[in-house]
């Protein structure tokens, strides 16, 4: 073999990578980070100082200032007022002059039958909303995403968005004009010689009525999040599935729904954490029509007990208990999401 042929054979052997052979780097071989992954020494990790990041992102930080101030003034600072839940609070004495009673207010709530009625109604309404309201925005998003005409899509979106911008006063008034005792439906039934149905004043069907009102008002607005998630799904997956003969339903089952799995779990966790907050204005406006036995929820109980009845400490205790239970539900649901392989709302950061 000539010298030229020998050099060509050596170059060919050097260019062939044997199966299972680890790549050779010029740095320290076999060096591992805290996570157990190999690092290449020829790619240094440079940390950016906070001064550099501040100079780079100061415009975004300035835009965040109004939101941070809003949250601080109306959400975080008022948390300090929960101290009155452990006091016999008297407005004319103030927090510093009111007597400290410890957990007595929570004990009084435990023996208050009105509190348990409000808790029962809240849980019943929350279950109705979770079962009937939560899937509707997802279904609307799938309908909008399947529309081919952009003009029809914009028209449909505007139609379902509009009720969100109406106040609960207008929403209840509209339902009263349609389903009330002198509303369109009952007047039509009278003209036909049929018995009227008390849609707006029947305590037994009030959970269904309240859920229908919520769906009509806010389902279109909640659809926006699912539409944004649908836009992030790779379109080539649908093309490949269609080329393999998958129909619309199979593409939705094997591509669309798995692509929305993370956002569905995230919204479900948030909904479970907020399960004791089913609304205030909606039930306050219908409180007298159906009675406290059906429309009394924790938010209205806090209002009537604390502000109307003057039991400031009892109302604060009910609100604090609701917040603590909601936080515990968020942690529990987030833990379940981790067990199912989803990131959830937050997760522990693995040490570097």
The whole-number average pLDDT for the span 240-246 is 85
Coil, strand or helix at 234: coil
Burial environment of residue 317 by CB neighbours within 10 A (0 to 12, 13 to 18, 19 or more) = buried
Res. 3: pLDDT tops 80? no
Q: What is the mean pLDDT of the chain?
A: 81
Whole-number pLDDT of residue 39: 47
| Separation CA 276–CA 114 (nearest Å) | 16
Whole-number pLDDT of residue 171: 93
Whole-number pLDDT of residue 143: 86
Burial environment of residue 297 by CB neighbours within 10 A (0 to 12, 13 to 18, 19 or more) = buried
Domains of the chain: 2-86 (no CATH), 104-351 (1.10.3720.10)
The whole-number average pLDDT for the span 225-252 is 84
Is 336:266 a contact under the CB 8 Å cutoff? no
Res. 140: pLDDT tops 80? yes
Most trustworthy range by pLDDT among 29-33, 35-39, 270-274, 342-346: 270-274
The whole-number average pLDDT for the span 265-278 is 82
The whole-number average pLDDT for the span 72-83 is 89
| Separation CA 138–CA 257 (nearest Å) | 10
Is 212:136 a contact under the CB 8 Å cutoff? no
Band the pLDDT of 6: cuts 50, 70, 90. Answer: low
Least confident of 36-45, 87-96, 122-131, 318-327: 36-45
198-219 pLDDT, tens digit each = 888 888 889 999 999 999 998 8
Cβ-defined contacts of 32-41 (< 8 Å, 24+): 33/352, 34/351, 34/352, 35/350, 35/352
Whole-number pLDDT of residue 349: 58
| Separation CA 139–CA 260 (nearest Å) | 12
**Which contiguous run of DSSP H or E holds residue 243?**
helix 235-243
Is 313:87 a contact under the CB 8 Å cutoff? yes
Band the pLDDT of 42: cuts 50, 70, 90. Answer: low
Res. 10: pLDDT tops 70? no
Whole-number pLDDT of residue 35: 45
Q: What percent of the chain has pLDDT over 70?
A: 85
Least confident of 41-45, 226-230, 247-251: 41-45
Is 200:209 a contact under the CB 8 Å cutoff? yes
Whole-number pLDDT of residue 97: 85
What's phi and psi for 157, nearest 5 deg? -65, -45
């Amino acid at each position: 073999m000539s010298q030229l042929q020998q050099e060509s054979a050596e170059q060919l052997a050097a260019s062939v990578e044997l199966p299972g052979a680890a790549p050779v780097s010029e740095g320290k071989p076999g060096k591992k980070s805290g996570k157990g992954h190999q690092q290449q020494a020829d790619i240094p990790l440079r940390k950016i100082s906070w001064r550099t990041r501040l100079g780079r992102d100061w415009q975004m930080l300035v835009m965040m200032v109004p939101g941070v101030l809003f949250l601080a003034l109306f959400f975080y600072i008022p948390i300090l007022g929960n101290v009155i839940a452990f006091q016999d609070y008297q407005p004319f004495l103030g927090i510093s002059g009111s007597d400290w009673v410890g957990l007595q207010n929570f004990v009084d709530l435990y023996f208050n039958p009105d509190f348990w009625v409000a808790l029962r109604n809240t849980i019943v309404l929350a279950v109705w909303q979770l079962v009937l309201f939560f899937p509707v925005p997802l279904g609307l998003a799938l309908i909008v995403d399947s529309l081919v005409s952009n003009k029809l899509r914009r028209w449909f979106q505007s139609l379902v968005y509009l009720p969100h911008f109406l106040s609960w006063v207008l929403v209840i008034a509209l339902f009263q004009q349609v389903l009330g005792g002198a509303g369109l439906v009952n007047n039509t039934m009278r003209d036909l010689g049929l018995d009227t149905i008390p849609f707006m004043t029947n305590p037994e069907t009030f959970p269904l009525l309240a859920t229908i009102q919520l769906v009509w008002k806010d389902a279109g607005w909640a659809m926006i999040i699912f539409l944004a998630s649908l836009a992030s799904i790779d379109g080539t997956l649908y093309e490949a599935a269609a080329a393999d003969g998958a129909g619309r339903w199979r593409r939705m089952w094997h591509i669309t729904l798995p692509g929305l799995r993370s956002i569905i779990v995230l919204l479900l966790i948030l909904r479970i954490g907020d399960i004791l907050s089913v609304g205030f204005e909606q039930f306050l406006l219908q409180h007298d029509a159906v009675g406290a036995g059906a429309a009394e929820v924790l938010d209205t109980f806090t209002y009537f007990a604390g502000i109307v009845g003057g039991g400031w400490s009892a109302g604060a205790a009910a609100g604090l208990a609701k917040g603590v239970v909601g936080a515990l539900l968020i942690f529990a649901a987030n833990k379940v999401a981790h067990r199912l392989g989803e990131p959830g709302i937050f997760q522990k950061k693995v040490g570097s």
